[in-house]
Structure 1
Amino acid sequence: MSFRASLACLILVPCLLGQGTERLTLEAIAHPTLKKTFVGTPATRLEWLPDGGLMQTRREGDQVTLLRLDPATWESKPLIEAAPLQAALVAAGATDADARTALGRGNLTWNDGRNAFLISVAETLFHVDVKASTARRLAGGKPDEPTFSPDGTQVAYLRGNDLYRVDVATARETRLTSGGSETVFNGRLDWVYQEEVYGRGSFRAFWWSPDSRRLAYLSLDETKVPVFTLVDDRTQPQQFVKARYPKAGDPNPTARLGVVDLDGHTAWLEDAYAERETLIVQVGWDPTGRLLAAHQDRVQSWLDLRRYEGPASSVLIREERKAWQERLPLPLFLPDGTFLWESERTGHHHVYRYDQGGRLLGAVTAGDWDVRKIHGVDAKGRLLYFDATERSPIGLDVYRIGLDGKGLTRLTAQPGTHRVRFNATRTAFLDTWSDIHTPAQQSLHDGAGKQVRLIDANPSENLKNLKLGEVRFQQVKTRDGFPMETMLVLPVDFDPSKKYPVFQHTYSGPAAPTVRNAWSRDMLWFQFLAQQGIATWICDNRSASAKGLASAYGVHRNLGVQELQDLLDGHAWLKSQGWADMDRICLDGWSYGGFMTAFALTHSKGWKLGIAGAPVVDWSLYDSIYTERYMGLPAENKAGYEASSVVKAAKDLSGRLLILHGTLDDNVHPQNTVMLIDALQKAGKDFDLRLYPGADHVSAFGRPWQNWDIVRARWDFISRYL
């Protein structure tokens, strides 16, 4: 078989968006004051209550009202209204203006029973009893990450870098830890643990026991972690922003695991890895009150799930992979004492059942697809509910299956992406669904998947009236046969006998696909290009596909190389179609996608233009936990780090490069861009540069005028040079 034949298209799914006549403008897409909405009305904000009812949060102006909805009749009644709630907060000591502002934000932390919540008003924490419509001041001094105990009688929180708790009934505060400082974090995650282990957005590193009498917490010591300084040049004098940030090979924060009682007495747990550098990547409790923690080696090649009996522990399960081992969720314990454990041991992410002692009883799910999330089991403990890619690797559906591995049933009907939320008994769920040409719709379903009510049809007249190009999903094989998922947005009035330039968007990072059958505002940008006669091409290289962890192992210790080869194989398919002008292709990406763009333009001649946003240009400059997972330690993989460096290949730049970067990016430091442009200048290479003052890694997209500048800069670059 010829090379071209081996890249044959496997699946062709045409998707037609708008059938109107109107054209998009950049202003309609992104201008701070002139942009239009193309996604209809905001979805109804709903949450399940423990008794099976629904709570609706309704915003009217700057005020929030909470309603109780009956799922069967859809009748509603006030749960708590803004006026009495505001009055209750004022009676408890808040000012009227501060209470109104806080309620307008709507940031409420609920207890398990959904009958009380916490709210921060002017850096003071208040407890609100919903039924009684009363409020109580609990703590001042900027309490952070407030978290109810399971029984609702206590609240734990952070002040500075120490852990506190307060009794809800008496408002009596107890300091639980001491010694927190600029370098010691008790109950708080540092930057790298938050970003790369526990997940961006929360810095909480403490966990209540089931009986509400103890808290497990991490104590992180950053003393040996190097300080990195960013400079804010928007002021005079300049402001220096300093943070401890471990780059690849640098000392990581050291982590200790402790358990503290309600009086502040901490018992430190035994370190089973005292002679090795490890990470504590999960902490929680089993239903009987025994502590669980998952530990990994520094380069994350193995994971141990340990169960603690007092300060000592034993390994319940060990997972070990030939390349790297991803962090896994804690077990889901069942009423009979067995538990469910997620693993990638077959190369795909599946669910397994174990007995109490950690003995494997059998696989619950299996196949050449991946479980994405477990929702839980039914009230009788016989059926497992979960999200998976069994129908399509670019969509998401919800399924149920017997714990014996039999009776796999898909509960969602429409192809696309379903994000579901079950009630406590798994007898009903809310489904937020979209596909590539339909903004999100919300509906109510029974436990078998039957639609009971369409809540938000969410039509968009602005979208309907647009003249848009055809969207096609297809699979394209690499030279060695791996089926890559791709998406094409064809130019409006496409004529296959003509030649068209191509805008190619990528991320390319491990297990991070960008081809999805789901609505995205990015589609408006792609359709704007389609109206300008430019095709958009997205091709997920195999390591980005998330088709099982095994599909990503080819990039281990050598980021960039296999990804580039896969993208070039995608180009071979594009060339075979006849209509793509292979001399006029622009590659675009942000973060890892920025790295991939810069790497592609310095290690190949496949692209005329590149737009690299916040690029990593040498992996020795990025954080330790992410980088070493894929590349190992710099001292042990010098050749791999050199081969993946954009800086070292700057002299080989082919095509024109636009670099975008925020000046206060605390994730991918602007040091990366400075080192790249220094190398490009020394090599006599032209480039374009756009900086965003005060922006961090992604905040420019949330700042209307900076986002507008990014959109204009991309279009100006494309229209001038492509």
Structure 2
Amino acid sequence: MSIRASLALLLLVSGLLGQGGERLTLEALAHPTLKKTYAGMPTTRLEWLPDGALLQTKRDKDQVALLRVDPRSWEAKPLLEAAPLQAALVAAGANDADAKAALGRGAFTWNESRNAFLLEVKDQLFVVDVKAASAKRLAGGKPDEPSLSPDGAQVAYLRGNDLYCVEVATGRETRLTSGGNETVFNGRLDWVYQEEVYGRGSFKAFWWSPDSKHLAYLSLDETKVPVFTLMDDRFQPQQAHRARYPKAGDPNPIARLGVVDLAGHTTWMAEPYPGKETLIVQVGWDPSGHLLAAHQDRVQSWLDLRRYEGPSSAVLVREESKAWQERLPLPHFLPDGSFLWESQRTGFHHVYHYSRTGQLLAPVTAGNWDVRRIHGVDPKTQQLYFEATERSPIGLDAYRIDLSGKGLARLTEKPGTHRVRFNPAFTAFLDTWSDALTPAQQSLHDASGKSLRLIDANPSEKLKELALGKVSFQQVKTRDGFPMETMLVLPTSFDPSKKYPVFQYLYSGPGAASVRNAFGRDMLWFQFLAQQGIAVWVCDNRSASAKGAASAFGVHRNLGAQELQDQLDGHAWLKAQGWADMDRLCLDGWSYGGFMVTYALTHSKAWKLGIAGAPVTDWSLYDSIYTERYMGLPSENKAGYASSSVQKAAKDLSGKLLLFHGTLDDNVHPQNSVMLIDALQKAGRQLQFVLLPGAEHGPRTPEQIWAVNQTKWEFLSKNL
């Protein structure tokens, strides 16, 4: 077999690290009380105001103050300080201690004008008028996911599984939906929609119309979704945690789209695909007040963007894929009614200009790179501002381009990862930048990219004191020529004439890159290993490369096989370097990475050790929306589910396996690990298993994090 490998790109990163002589300790990285902070301070919390000034939220211990900052002079004037704000909340009915605690968290939900915000204080909802420094209690009874209307006159929120609205001026509350219960969610996402469609952490499923007269919402009925039970054995009696969780092939929640007219309190429901099971993956409004929604089939092979006129609708754009179709953002509308639409139809994520009726006018961006985020269009210059990977697939930069597709210009200078925020007029932007060895810094730039001010240099003296290994990025080609992105951290006192063990970290999930030129929490762990004489290797197989959607399609209906082949091709390059001890390799990963560790150790003999956290060990055990996107339905892909199963290959386990799983993991159920352990024991194979009591999809408490790190290091020290 011929394996082609090359150093098509070699980037040596020299940042703040490695200038001193201090050694890292495990205690300094992860101990509950002895842990040190090496990454400096978080960047200043700033956001643009509608008039082009900046709003700074300044926190000092448990106090918070709001400042208005002039971006030209950097003069800061108080908008609202902690003491009067706390007093206003108390005057409105909040408990003093509860108000202080809520303000200390700084979790404000702002209106569009940024002159008022919502604050939850101990199960009560308050609105704060910034200019008047006054507060008003709006609702009690645990209002959840509150959202101000665009005109600021009303607030919608959830109570239980129904949608409510309160008028700010009068405090009058109206219940907008009924019928919400343990299995019917009106305006609230269930677990699988939150995890796999709209994004982990928020359960909000309602959207204001631009004129504040209507609320669209999702209604999810999970009556037919099976219940999965997790037991918490830390207590006597045991505590059962029951939740509805659709595994691959199970009934999904039934999704319907509703709209409430707030004037007449009437509701209509939209069902554009009668008799067909679909997912509703985006909801919003166009500037003229028409409802928009993106619908997909169950296995996500197509996506329809629909525009609604009441309950009737028409398809504006349809996207289809030979493998799977990713969820796409809603359109960005222009003043003439035309819109910008993001698509992966060429295999890469790009922007297209459409007429108001859904006719393609022209592509705006093109190339073998991905647009990651649209920031908007300057109405004066008709230039689009966006973030993309045009310079490097492992970094992120800000760009602008004419809507004609001409005049592409990069606005950010330093290699690395730039996350930017433009002011409303597109005359300036805030840039938060880091690279692999430099913690996040924040700066202000004009629209051309010229630096106007360094806001946060974020120096970390502790970093400068450390003696750490060299970090390099390489492109390594697979046997068929695909350039994989890789990162190497060499031992501190590296000698190329010697042999070194290698710790290999991976995630490997579709479109989820691990090799990034950005400062991350794993780097100091990697550097700790490098100080112990262990090289660290991170290799993104092609499906995880984030180099266009099409690069991942090779894993369709057979997760694990191509990923492993690519990782083994990476080993060929590693072996060719001469210094890697290929008999002393450890593979480490969590979640999808945990699946890949267990898959690799049961489908190859390349690794001496494996460390797996919360692995999927048979894809029939994972949730329907994620799994079926990549694997299809179990009834239609029996061979693929069987060949990707770690459990079915348990007898072929090679090397020593360390396995972690939380007892309350509601994402990848501990059932996955229990069934794998059962299969391994039946096959006469041994492993080391660590249970994390009360943990969900990873260690949660400082003590558990310390225990996991201790166990990993002891496992490596003893066996690698």
Between 53-62 and 203-212, report the one with greater CA deviation. Answer: 53-62
Distance 2:384 2:71 in 1: 23
1:30 aligns with 2:45: no
Instruction: Give the CA deviation at 1:266.
Output: 4.1
Instruction: Give the CA deviation at 1:19.
Output: 2.3
Other-structure match for 1:13:
11
Contact 1:248 1:634 in 2 (8 A): yes
Contact 2:659 2:690 in 1 (8 A): yes
TM-superposition CA deviations, 1:101-142 (whole Å, max 9, x none): 111111110000000000011100001100001111000000
CA, structure 1 residues 291+57, in 2 after alignment: closer, same or farther (shift >3 Å)? same
TM-superposition CA deviations, 1:446-503 (whole Å, max 9, x none): 1111110001111111111111111110000000000000000001111111100000
1:709 aligns with 2:707: yes
1:387 partner amino acid: E
1:309 partner amino acid: E
Other-structure match for 2:334:
334
Other-structure match for 1:658:
658
Map 1:70-85 to 2 at 5 A: 70-85=70-85
Map 1:125-204 to 2 at 5 A: 125-204=125-204
Q: Secondary structure of 2:308's partner? A: strand
Q: Secondary structure of 1:518's partner? A: coil
1:618 aligns with 2:618: yes
Distance 1:112 1:310 in 2: 26
Could you list the runs of 5+ residues in structure 2 that have no partner in the other structure?
none
Q: Secondary structure of 2:650's partner? A: helix
Other-structure match for 1:693:
693
Q: Secondary structure of 2:600's partner? A: helix
Other-structure match for 2:520:
520
Q: Secondary structure of 2:406's partner? A: coil
Distance 2:716 2:266 in 1: 60
Instruction: Give the CA deviation at 1:272.
Output: 2.2
Other-structure match for 1:529:
529
1:313 partner amino acid: S
Other-structure match for 1:440:
440
Contact 1:398 1:420 in 2 (8 A): yes
1:716 partner amino acid: E
Map 1:533-612 to 2 at 5 A: 533-612=533-612
TM-superposition CA deviations, 1:640-683 (whole Å, max 9, x none): 00000000000000000000111100000000010010111111
2:11 partner amino acid: V
Q: Cα RMSD between the aligned structures?
A: 0.9
Contact 1:176 1:264 in 2 (8 A): no
Between 470-479 and 39-48, report the one with greater CA deviation. Answer: 39-48
TM-score (normalizing by structure 1): 0.99
Contact 1:335 1:381 in 2 (8 A): no
Q: Secondary structure of 1:3's partner? A: coil
Distance 2:507 2:691 in 1: 21
1:294 aligns with 2:284: no
Other-structure match for 1:62:
62
1:336 partner amino acid: D
Distance 1:270 1:491 in 2: 60
Instruction: Give the CA deviation at 1:521.
Output: 2.0
Distance 2:566 2:109 in 1: 45
TM-superposition CA deviations, 1:683-710 (whole Å, max 9, x none): 1111001111111113x1x421111111
Contact 2:109 2:119 in 1 (8 A): yes
2:120 partner amino acid: S
Distance 2:280 2:269 in 1: 12
2:498 partner amino acid: K
Distance 1:264 1:434 in 2: 51
Distance 2:668 2:268 in 1: 35
TM-superposition CA deviations, 1:493-532 (whole Å, max 9, x none): 1111110000000000000000000011211010010011
Q: Secondary structure of 1:673's partner? A: helix
Other-structure match for 1:343:
343
2:258 partner amino acid: G
Other-structure match for 1:206:
206
Instruction: Give the CA deviation at 1:8.
Output: 2.1
Distance 1:160 1:666 in 2: 21
Map 1:187-266 to 2 at 5 A: 187-262=187-262, 265-266=265-266
Distance 2:381 2:336 in 1: 8
Contact 1:146 1:157 in 2 (8 A): yes
Instruction: Give the CA deviation at 1:34.
Output: 0.7
2:629 partner amino acid: R
2:620 partner amino acid: S
Distance 1:360 1:161 in 2: 40
Instruction: Give the CA deviation at 1:379.
Output: 3.2
Contact 2:31 2:702 in 1 (8 A): yes
Q: Tell me the percent identity.
A: 76
Distance 1:215 1:264 in 2: 12
Contact 2:47 2:56 in 1 (8 A): yes
1:718 aligns with 2:713: no
Distance 2:660 2:273 in 1: 42
Distance 2:107 2:42 in 1: 18
Other-structure match for 1:3:
2
CA, structure 1 residues 381+227, in 2 after alignment: closer, same or farther (shift >3 Å)? farther
Distance 1:679 1:307 in 2: 51
TM-superposition CA deviations, 1:317-362 (whole Å, max 9, x none): 0000000000000000001211000000000000000001100000
**How many residues are paired up?**
718
Distance 1:197 1:266 in 2: 28
Q: Secondary structure of 1:672's partner? A: helix
Map 1:246-395 to 2 at 5 A: 246-262=246-262, 265-380=265-380, 382-395=382-395
Q: Secondary structure of 1:712's partner? A: helix
Distance 2:271 2:458 in 1: 53
Q: Secondary structure of 2:529's partner? A: helix
Contact 2:443 2:456 in 1 (8 A): yes
Contact 2:147 2:156 in 1 (8 A): yes
Contact 1:233 1:239 in 2 (8 A): yes
TM-superposition CA deviations, 1:80-103 (whole Å, max 9, x none): 011111111111111111111111
Other-structure match for 1:39:
39
Contact 2:213 2:263 in 1 (8 A): no
Other-structure match for 2:402:
402
Contact 2:258 2:270 in 1 (8 A): no
Instruction: Give the CA deviation at 1:263.
Output: 5.2
TM-superposition CA deviations, 1:558-610 (whole Å, max 9, x none): 00000000000000111111110001000000000000000000000010000
Contact 1:397 1:418 in 2 (8 A): yes
Distance 1:381 1:210 in 2: 25
Q: Secondary structure of 1:86's partner? A: helix
Distance 1:703 1:385 in 2: 41
Other-structure match for 2:670:
670
Q: Secondary structure of 2:599's partner? A: helix
Contact 1:56 1:69 in 2 (8 A): yes
Distance 2:19 2:652 in 1: 45
Distance 1:427 1:137 in 2: 38
1:440 partner amino acid: A
Structure 1 stretches of 4+ with a deviation exceeding 2 A read 263-270
TM-score (normalizing by structure 2): 0.99
Distance 2:31 2:97 in 1: 32
Instruction: Give the CA deviation at 1:381.
Output: 6.0
Q: Secondary structure of 2:98's partner? A: helix
Between 551-560 and 380-389, report the one with greater CA deviation. Answer: 380-389
Other-structure match for 1:122:
122
Other-structure match for 2:639:
639
Q: Secondary structure of 1:157's partner? A: strand
Distance 1:264 1:44 in 2: 45
Other-structure match for 1:86:
86
Contact 2:161 2:180 in 1 (8 A): yes
1:8 partner amino acid: S
